[in-house]
Each structure stands twice: as structure tokens, then as C-alpha cells.
Amino acid sequence: MARTKRTVRRFVARDEGGGVIRFTEEELNNISELERGPNYIEVTCGCTNKKYGDYIGKLRISSFGHFKITCTCMNLTPYAFEKHSGREGAKNWKKHIWVIINDKKVALSKTVLISYYKHSTNMVLSRPKQFHRDEFISCSDCKKLRRFLLRDQVGCRTYHDALANKNWKCTDWPYDK
């Protein structure tokens, strides 16, 4: 059985940092209003609102997987664009934002464009939530372990005060009062 080698031309967008986007020509041919840059791909997208109709924007996919949508008024993340268009209900922008392929509106989740999306690059960078586990201190008289609930600032403060006191007793415990 003889194998034939099929050559496929790929569009590659590169950035100095090493990010790469690869699409075959077949994948990109059917997408309308597609612009190719040295380190990005830009395509017309939209989000449909039942009451006000379609909101149109330009989806720019960078070589690092950043998705930015340029609306007529501002630059937005896909989630913010969905919210900006007045879309109500479940916030699932991958299904609500569409691109035009073969003169039909196709959800981003059904296109090859979504395969280069990286969640962490579009999320708001927030500090991780700091939490405390419950701590135990033993009574200096009866040697019982007492649990301190470290749920809020007051609980943490009482624990640290008790920890600093070498002669802490069960009578000083704040939860029986």
C-alpha cells in the first residue's frame, strides 16, 4: 500500500516571546472578514441580543492565545463583550459569541479559533484567597486542647493573643461566654 504525502500550507503567526498560532488554509478559507497580521489573526465576530439585535466587534487572537474584542466603543475580553452586548442568562461566551463562516453565524466553540484560547491570559489577575485552618492551644491548667476558629479577623486576633500568653487557661477561652 503506497502512502501519498499531503502537503498542507499553514498560516503561522509568531511573536517574539515564542507563541505560535497554526491554522491550515482550509480552516481559514471559509471564515469571512479575516485579517492576518505578523503575530495575530483578526476576524469579525458578534453576539446576539434578543431585544436589541447583533453587537458586532473584531476578535483579535494573539500568538499567545489572548482573545480581545474591539467593539465600536472599547476593547473588551470575550466575557466583557458578552456582558456589554446585554446578553442575559448563563455567561457562556464561547457559545454566545459567533463568527461568520460560509455566510452562517457559527459559535466560537464550534470553530478552530477557540483551540488557541488560554484561560489564564484573559482572566482578571486576582490574588488567591487566603484562608486559615483552625488552630489548637492547650490549657496551662487542665492540658485540654481548645479549638480556635480562624474564620475572621477577630478569631485570628484572639488566637494570636492566646498564643502569646504562656499561662493561657480555659477560662480565657472566648467561645463559652
35 plus 113 within the same structural domain:
yes
Domain boundaries, position 162 = 135-176
Same domain, 98 and 48: yes
> For 26-66, what is each residue's pLDDT tens digit?
777 778 788 888 888 888 888 888 877 888 888 888 877 77
Angle at 83 between CA 58 and CA 116, to 5 degrees: 50
Whether residues 21 and 97 fall in one domain: yes
Kindly report each contact of residues 73-76 with a partner whose C-beta sits within 8 Å and lies 24 or more positions away, as own/partner: none
42 plus 111 within the same structural domain: yes
Residue 35 domain-assigned? yes
Q: Tell whether 102 and 56 lie within a shared domain.
A: yes
The pLDDT tens digits of the residues spanning 133-154 come to 778 888 888 988 888 888 788 8
| Same domain for 35 and 77 | yes
State whether 29 and 100 are in the same domain: yes
* pTM: predicted TM-score of the whole model, two decimal places: 0.52
Q: Which tens digits make up the pLDDT trace of 100-128?
A: 888 888 888 888 777 766 654 444 555 55
